[in-house]
Amino acid sequence: MLLLFPGGSSGETTEGAGKKIGFTNGVFDILHQGHIFSLSQAAREADYLVVGLNSDASVRRLKGEDRPVNVQDSRALGTRFVIDSWRRCNIWRRHSLQLIKTVMPDVLVKGGDYTAGPGSGAVQT
């Protein structure tokens, strides 16, 4: 997964202390209007937004052997143009729930087409 932090924070210092952290994740393989809207809205919900990006191997498991259409670095670059300021670091986890527990976001943002399932990382309240 790939983390993107708008506002220039690497997430490794106390620079963001007292700021609201948001989290969203997805495949973002063929970037379309829905992705752009979802990422833009998610960025508005927090001071720092962490975006989990599925690895190529994960996309193949989820979507089939003919996916992804775009490799991980290309998908990350596509999301960069939606979220203006960012830094990245690669963090590999099998499920987004592990990453959510590491980041402990204040806001969890998912697209309107999202449905929760086992291991999905959805937080039930």
* Tens of each residue's pLDDT in the chain, 125 residues: 444 445 444 444 445 567 888 888 888 999 999 888 888 888 888 888 888 888 899 899 999 999 999 999 899 888 877 776 454 545 555 677 888 888 888 888 887 776 666 555 554 33
Query: Which residues on neighbouring strands pair with residue 30, listed in sequence order?
Result: none
Give one word for 120, left, alpha or beta, with left for phi > 0 and alpha for psi -120 to 50: alpha
Cα–Cα distance, 13 to 27 (Å, whole number): 28
Judge: domain 2-108, CATH 2.40.37.10. Answer: no
pTM score above 0.75: no
Cα–Cα distance, 49 to 83 (Å, whole number): 9
Cα–Cα distance, 25 to 39 (Å, whole number): 9
